Structure 1
């Protein structure tokens, strides 16, 4: 193979890989609208009162997830600040059935459930506090008008 075509192919591969990596990174920690499907505590092996009375921050993790402990601390702190809100962490390491059921392709993944257990938002990757709080405010019926 000639040097010039080989060099062009190499540069093109680096460019495509860089763009794909930047797109993937930008999608991490972003909230998307929830499916509205209902989740029951019993599906996760929890007691009937395992969810919050107003909202639940449902985190899916694995044993080998390096970002999951920090996500759990963040979500736990947010839930502690809101009456009727609970943080629930589910380890998918030995529960492939749950990973398939909830279409989890990365950990951490968080589902924000309303009082009825309906999925209102989904965040793949490490969650950002301000985003989780904003989505939680939506569920709890609070509006924030910022002063700029």
Structure 2
């Protein structure tokens, strides 16, 4: 292989990596639909809020999870009809496949019946979180 061809291939791989990285970064923290998932409060040993519940999936080694915990706790404490539940996937790895969790933190907004109404991968943007809660 010629040095020029190797340089072109290396440059193309670097560009591909940058494009994928930027795409993942832009998608981080944005609201996604919940699909047809239903959250079972028995999995978290907690109870659902009367209107909605903020379910945070985290791990012990997650660097951004404490930030999300503080944000979700403050949102839930400001309203009586909201609850905040944290599920540690370190101790319950079976839940990551059941709820299709690929990264932590991941946050679900669950209505009073357990239906997942919205999902956030990464740190939720406050405006998107407020909009999602208004829709429940």
Task: Report the TM-score range of the alignment, normalised by the length of the smaller protein.
Answer: over 0.9
Which consecutive residues of structure 1, in runs of 5 or more, have no partner in the other structure?
Answer: 140-148
Q: Residues 32-81 of structure 1, C-alpha deviation per residue, up to 9 Å, x if partnerless?
A: 111243322113233xxx22111000000000000000001011111112
Aligned-partner SS, 2:135: helix
Asked whether the equivalents of residues 78 and 133 of structure 1 are also in contact (C-alpha less than 8 Å), the reply is no
Asked whether the equivalents of residues 53 and 84 of structure 1 are also in contact (C-alpha less than 8 Å), the reply is yes
In the alignment, the residues of structure 1 paired with residue 96 and residue 15 of structure 2 have an alpha-carbon distance, to the nearest angstrom, of 32
Two-structure CA RMSD over aligned residues (Å): 1.1
Asked whether the equivalents of residues 38 and 115 of structure 2 are also in contact (C-alpha less than 8 Å), the reply is yes
In the alignment, the residues of structure 1 paired with residue 68 and residue 7 of structure 2 have an alpha-carbon distance, to the nearest angstrom, of 42
In the alignment, the residues of structure 1 paired with residue 61 and residue 43 of structure 2 have an alpha-carbon distance, to the nearest angstrom, of 23
In the alignment, the residues of structure 2 paired with residue 12 and residue 79 of structure 1 have an alpha-carbon distance, to the nearest angstrom, of 46
Match of 1:102 among 86, 89, 99: 99
Aligned residues: 136
Structure 1 segments of 4+ aligned residues over 6 angstroms from their partners: none
Residue 131 (str. 1) matches residue 128 (str. 2):
yes
How do 1:106-121 and structure 2 match up within 5 A?
Answer: 106-121=103-118
How do 1:53-72 and structure 2 match up within 5 A?
Answer: 53-72=50-69
Give TM-score scaled by structure 1 length.
0.87
Give TM-score scaled by structure 2 length.
0.95
Aligned-partner SS, 1:121: strand
In the alignment, the residues of structure 2 paired with residue 14 and residue 84 of structure 1 have an alpha-carbon distance, to the nearest angstrom, of 48
Which consecutive residues of structure 2, in runs of 5 or more, have no partner in the other structure?
Answer: none
Residue 21 (str. 1) matches residue 18 (str. 2):
no
Residue 93 (str. 1) matches residue 80 (str. 2):
no
